Amino acid sequence: MSKIHDEVLAANKVYSANFGDKAKLPMPPGRRFAILTCMDARLDPAKFAGLSEGDAHVIRNAGGRASDDAIRSLVISYKLLGTQEWFVIHHTDCGMLTFTNEIMSDLLASSLKTSSVDKNGWHDSGNGPGSMEGKFINWLTIADNAKSVIEDVQRIKHHPLVPDEIPVYGCIYDCKSGKLVKVTGA
């Protein structure tokens, strides 16, 4: 067992000891909305969006992108659990701005070990084995934050499984100020 493993289980023991009425929270989110955002550990959607447990669905992936799986989750959130509004929230200083599909697939072809980055870009140990499978994945990298928010909002709004009446808002979370900035055109 690792130190992290032990810390997580210890924290859960404290949390579950004070669980109280949370066992009575209904499955549908109480405030009837969902957020699609990045998995970046600096983002705390509960804090930046004023959420309590049971308020909203929070769907997270690398970049907060409107991948097929993210749209799958949003559609379930609406169709089966009654959410009525959705937010797409990307953020400043996102790691997805630091590489391209080609860089990622080249790093994976070199080795499956963790890569490093410095002022000259991404580097891999090259201590294979690697895999060419990375060349067949669209990593949904980001070249322009606002443009990616607009693309994701439009993809969601025009998806054939998404009803026209669901408003989809686009924002960028500023990691320096904690503010949500609405993206014009999203």
Q: Are strands 56-61 and 85-91 parallel, antiparallel or unpaired?
A: unpaired
Tens of pLDDT, residues 64-104: 999 999 999 999 999 999 999 999 999 999 999 999 999 99
**Could you give the C-alpha distances from 67 to 73, 77, 101, in angstroms and in order?**
10, 15, 15
For 77, the 3-state DSSP assignment is helix
DSSP secondary structure of 121-155? EEE----S---GGGGGS-----S-HHHHHHHHHHH
Location of each CATH 3.40.1050.10 domain in the chain:
28-99+140-186
Pick the CATH number of 28-99+140-186 from 3.40.1050.10, 3.50.50.60, 2.60.40.640, 3.40.190.10: 3.40.1050.10
Tens of pLDDT, residues 120-154: 999 998 888 999 999 999 999 999 999 999 999 99
Task: Please check whether residue 67 is in contact with residue 137, taking contact to mean a CB–CB distance below 8 angstroms.
Answer: no
Does residue 164 register a pLDDT over 90? Answer: yes
Res 53: pLDDT? 96
Give, as one character, the DSSP assignment of residue 162.
S
Taking the CA atoms of 63, 104, 69 and 58 in sequence, report the sign of the dihedral they define: negative
Res 128: pLDDT? 83
- Residue pointed to by tokens 């890569």: 115
